[in-house]
């Protein structure tokens, strides 16, 4: 009888220790850290503003460039959302390439060189890597 009581107390103590760990693991990241896909659906996608901030860190964009490039990323997101899920994979690379070309057209020659050396956003996983463009 005493052994059963001891086992129950040990089980309760372990449960009390494990509960905070489990609850922390299930908390959702803050909204600004999630991509536009919402909880669980974004899979690490960056918002247009986050994408522009990443570019700004590398290229030192002007305020005008930031505004225009944010609009390009928002346009791409809306266009991607309008494509049926089963067609997205085949059209995604084409859309990403068009987006890069639109952004590249807004950059100075120095920024273009740095931009061309950057890996494509969302790409780089298992592919050939970023293609180098000539001026």
What does each of the 135 residues of the chain score in pLDDT, given as a tens digit? Answer: 677 778 787 776 666 666 565 555 555 555 444 444 444 345 567 899 999 999 999 999 999 999 999 999 999 999 988 999 888 888 888 999 999 999 999 999 999 999 999 887 655 444 444 444 444
Residue 2 belongs to some domain of the structure: no
* 38 domain-assigned: no
Vertex 105: Cα angle to 99 and 107 (nearest 5): 110
Q: Which domain holds residue 64?
A: 45-117
Q: What gap in Å lies between CA 115 and CA 112, rounded to an integer? A: 5
| Distance of alpha carbon 114 from alpha carbon 16, whole angstroms | 53
E strands present in 13-58: none
Rounded distance, CA 68 to CA 113, Å? Answer: 19
| Residue 131 counted as domain residue | no
- Domain tally for the chain? 1
């Amino acid at each position: 009888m005493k052994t059963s009581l001891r086992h129950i107390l040990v089980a309760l103590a372990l449960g009390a220790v494990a509960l905070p760990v489990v609850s922390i693991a299930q908390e959702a990241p803050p909204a600004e850290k999630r991509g536009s896909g919402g909880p669980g659906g974004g899979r690490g996608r960056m918002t247009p503003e986050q994408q522009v901030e990443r570019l700004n860190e590398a290229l030192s964009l002007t305020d005008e460039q930031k505004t225009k490039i944010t609009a390009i990323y928002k346009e791409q997101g809306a266009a991607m959302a309008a494509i049926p899920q089963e067609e997205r994979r085949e059209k995604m690379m084409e859309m990403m390439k068009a987006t890069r070309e639109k952004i590249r057209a807004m950059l100075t020659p120095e920024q273009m060189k740095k931009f061309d050396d950057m890996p494509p956003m969302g790409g780089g996983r298992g592919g050939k890597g970023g293609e180098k463009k000539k001026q």
